Amino acid sequence: MKPQSLRRAEILPVTEEHLPALAELAGVIWRQHYPGIISPTQIDYMLARMYSPDALREEIRAKGIRFVQLLVEGRFVGFASYGSTPEPGVMKLHKCYLLPEMHGRGLGSLLLQHCERETRKLGARRLVLAVNKHNTKAVAAYQRNGFTVAESVITDFGSGFVMDDFIMAKDLA
């Protein structure tokens, strides 16, 4: 039997009209989750670069990235996005976020499994993602869902900031 929160969860596509709410939710999640992992200045910088409605709209329109929203009892509590990569058969999970108060209920796994099914329908044989090396909760959650660390990378993000990430992967076959 599914826990109560899973029975009341639904995953729906995000349209451009949802982008302001998604940007707002991202700000709430990042400001609750990332202190201690990255600096408050980097949090603000990355939110401005990656989560403005215009940046999100660009991902949808120009890059073909698909977004979904997770609702529990009608409340917007999480989201994910995924899209193709230059490598045939490989898709990337760009974003997968859930309000910290909703952690531990199976909702993150539900969202992740939805993205796996959808990318498989699009022809993916492998799903990859990048996660901050110091985001131990997320790394553990991905590992519980069958992802393994494929490599370690440091990427310049501009203005003196870097992303110190693990690239994790899961075969979908």
pLDDT, residue 173, reads: 76
Name all domains of the chain by residue range, CATH numbers in brackets.
4-171 (3.40.630.30)
Alpha-helix residue ranges (DSSP H) falling in 19-135:
19-33, 40-50, 53-63, 107-121
In whole angstroms, what is the distance from residue 75 CA to residue 109 CA? 18
Average pLDDT over residues 125-143: 96
| 75-84 β-sheet, strand order | 9-13, 66-72, 75-84, 90-98, 126-132, 161-171, 148-158
pLDDT at 21 over 50: yes
How does DSSP classify residue 14? Answer: -
By CB neighbour count within 10 A (0-12 exposed, 13-18 middle, 19+ buried), where does 22 fall?
buried
Kindly tell me the sign of the dihedral angle through the C-alpha atoms of 101, 165, 82, 30.
positive
Rg of the chain's alpha carbons, rounded to an integer? 15
Whether the CB-CB separation of 65 and 83 falls below 8 Å is answered with: yes
In terms of Cβ atoms closer than 10 Å to its own Cβ (0-12, 13-18, 19+), residue 54 is: exposed
- Residue range 15-27: average pLDDT? 96
pTM: 0.93
* pLDDT attached to residue 158: 87
pLDDT above 50 for 39: yes
Confidence of residue 1 (pLDDT cuts 50, 70, 90): very low
